[in-house]
Amino acid sequence: MATVEKLSIALTPEMADEVRKAVQSGEYASSSEVIREALRDWRRKRTLMEQELEELRTLWHQGLQSGQGRYGSVEEIKQAARKRLDGTDQ
């Protein structure tokens, strides 16, 4: 078995109740298991967010390197969008 370290954590009454319910239902053997799974999910979420952020950075840099866009201002973008919405851009 892996070495474990005991930590004391504070939860809101609602969170503590959810942990107790998960254990009482038999879904988990202990409150520690509930917390460990929550931490694994949190770690996966953070990893995914970091990957998505890196992808956005890559796309941003690709966009900058692709050269000048076809619109010169935000106002031109809005005008083009209005024309598309109205169906007058054809």
Domain count, the chain: 1
Going by the DSSP 8-state scheme, the letter that residue 3 receives in this structure is: -
Residue 27 lies in a domain: yes
Question: What pLDDT does 29 receive?
Answer: 97
Question: Angle of helix 13-24 relative to helix 31-65, nearest 10 degrees?
Answer: 110
Quick check: is 37 in a domain?
Answer: yes
b/e for 58-83, b at 16 or more Cβ within 10 A?
Answer: eeeeeeeeeeeeeeeeeeeeeeeeee
Q: For every one of its 90 residues, what pLDDT tens digit does the chain have, with 9 covering 90 and above?
A: 578 899 999 999 999 999 999 999 999 999 999 999 999 999 999 999 999 999 999 999 999 999 988 898 999 999 999 999 998 765
For the record, the structure tokens of 46 come out as 């953070």
Give residue 36's Cα distance to chain centre. 19
Could you list the residue range(s) of the whole structural domain that residue 19 is in? Answer: 13-86
The pTM of this model reads 0.67
